[in-house]
Structure 1
């Protein structure tokens, strides 16, 4: 696959200006050029950059790293991975997992992600490793000829890990609250909602998880047939503000006596008019804190 320098910036988290400096001063990468003299890079160059970033995050100087061959870098990465401590920068794991994922190397990706979960637990691994990976891949969706397959590949593995973590939680027969979780019928990116499911169950709540693309009529039926204390849904995709406002108002009518929470990156704080029973969640940490501090009903 072919990447521009801005693509490399989004995958690696390193600014284009810095990448150019590394090329000029240390021969870090060897870009190819179009007839119009525009830089472009292939998979090998992207993997090399991600390896360089990983080693730099672990404390090695750029000048030293760039002087090494790809084989020497791989050996050093393996040695670094074996000795890395729990206090090391999470960016090391993010860049290495991205490298494995972009190559569709499920064995290496799965093993390293399992190592992260074993070291840090599923909650810290999601916040500091899995979520940043998904954000970087999401930024690349604008290049439909490059990233959809890679995003799906990585997302499916991450989704599998969250499902496994949920399955390992004991069911609470005496749960004091019931939450309804869903995505609107035009939304299908459910990993954030899935992890919210984990947080709720880990805190002893009962969850009715409907997943993605759920019509409002179905929400109405579930609410009528069950004793729901709180509703959580995500708005991720962009839509007209007027349409988003109408959706929230329609949902509020259905859930007239139920507390509603919504999250997602489509709308910032104060962009929508919210009723007294609606709370906007702006971060995973904020949601976790709210769940932990909920009163016993």
Structure 2
């Protein structure tokens, strides 16, 4: 794969300005050039930047990190796993190393890092502050065609397994009709990682959940809603689609389920262009969702 400096910044969380400084002062990276003299970076340069950034977040000086070769850098990173990390850097450290291991399809390394993050950051802290940012970064790169789709799918499959195991470890909460959450994806959506994360967070907070998963046709959604009478409907729209089609779907849900709070998240370009009818709320971030879980009385009324 070929990456621009903006791509590197997107995946590493290091600004373009700092990458250029590290490159100029410390020889951190050595970009190649196209026939048209455009700079680009390959997989090895991306992995090197992720390692350098990981060492930086582990408390090492940039000058020292940039002077290390590949083997010494890897050895030093291994020493940091499970060690004491500064409070403000511990999430970013795990994010960078998990992304790095996903680029080389190292399932064992990813599992070890996630397990160590559970120990350092807690299970919920790992999903909220490590896994979720990784999905956002890799998802944006995949949508921009700057990341190999197989790498995104590989990591998503591992995270999906972890989320299912975490959900299975929680006791189901039975709620009264009209009090619970109904989670689903429209029938043309099948990427359910975000929905699984929402299901885990709701269940961990003691909220009753009915999870339908991906590709749910409207008649099935209506049948379930008639039986369970959920207070809240939550779904994701991640696919790129015409704004008019998304608007029609949101308007249809609003008309069909007037007594429910309807919440959605997903593709910013699409959702940011919609006109939201009463009772429909766009969740722009994980913080918005957590706020509603913690303060259900502040839920917008339909």
**Per the alignment, in what secondary structure is the counterpart of residue 6 of structure 1?**
helix
| 1:136 match | 137
- Distance (whole Å) between structure 2 residues aligned to residue 145 and residue 270 of structure 1: 23
8 Å contact from structure 1 (residues 235, 266) kept in 2: no
8 Å contact from structure 2 (residues 7, 146) kept in 1: no
**Per the alignment, in what secondary structure is the counterpart of residue 128 of structure 1?**
helix
Q: Which runs of 4+ in 1 moved over 6 A?
A: none
CA displacement, residues 117-163 of structure 1 (integer Å, 9 cap, x when unaligned): 23222321122111111122122224648420000001111111111
Report the Cα offset of residue 220 of structure 1. 1.5
Report the Cα offset of residue 270 of structure 1. 7.7
| 1:24 match | 24
Report the Cα offset of residue 253 of structure 1. 2.2
State yes or no: 1:239 paired with 2:241: yes
8 Å contact from structure 2 (residues 203, 209) kept in 1: yes
TM-score (norm. length: structure 2): 0.88
1:207 pairs, out of 206, 209, 224, with 209
CA displacement, residues 86-105 of structure 1 (integer Å, 9 cap, x when unaligned): 72511111111111011000
Greater Cα shift, 264-273 or 124-133: 264-273
| 2:300 match | none
**Per the alignment, in what secondary structure is the counterpart of residue 241 of structure 2?**
coil
Return 5+ residue gaps in structure 1 as ranges: none
| 2:84 match | 84
CA displacement, residues 67-94 of structure 1 (integer Å, 9 cap, x when unaligned): 2222222222122224223725111111
| 2:165 match | 164
TM-score (norm. length: structure 1): 0.89
- Distance (whole Å) between structure 2 residues aligned to residue 142 and residue 181 of structure 1: 24
**Per the alignment, in what secondary structure is the counterpart of residue 268 of structure 2?**
coil
Report the Cα offset of residue 26 of structure 1. 1.1
Report the Cα offset of residue 273 of structure 1. 3.4
Greater Cα shift, 233-242 or 110-119: 233-242
8 Å contact from structure 1 (residues 8, 46) kept in 2: yes
**Per the alignment, in what secondary structure is the counterpart of residue 231 of structure 1?**
strand
State yes or no: 1:109 paired with 2:103: no
1:254 pairs, out of 230, 253, 256, with 256
**Per the alignment, in what secondary structure is the counterpart of residue 214 of structure 2?**
strand
- Distance (whole Å) between structure 1 residues aligned to residue 61 and residue 191 of structure 2: 38
Greater Cα shift, 247-256 or 160-169: 247-256
Q: CA RMSD in A?
A: 2.4
Distance 1:24 1:203, change over 3 A: closer
State yes or no: 1:223 paired with 2:225: yes
State yes or no: 1:284 paired with 2:289: no
1:264 pairs, out of 253, 263, 266, with 266
Report the Cα offset of residue 223 of structure 1. 1.9
- Distance (whole Å) between structure 2 residues aligned to residue 145 and residue 271 of structure 1: 24
Count the aligned residue pairs: 295
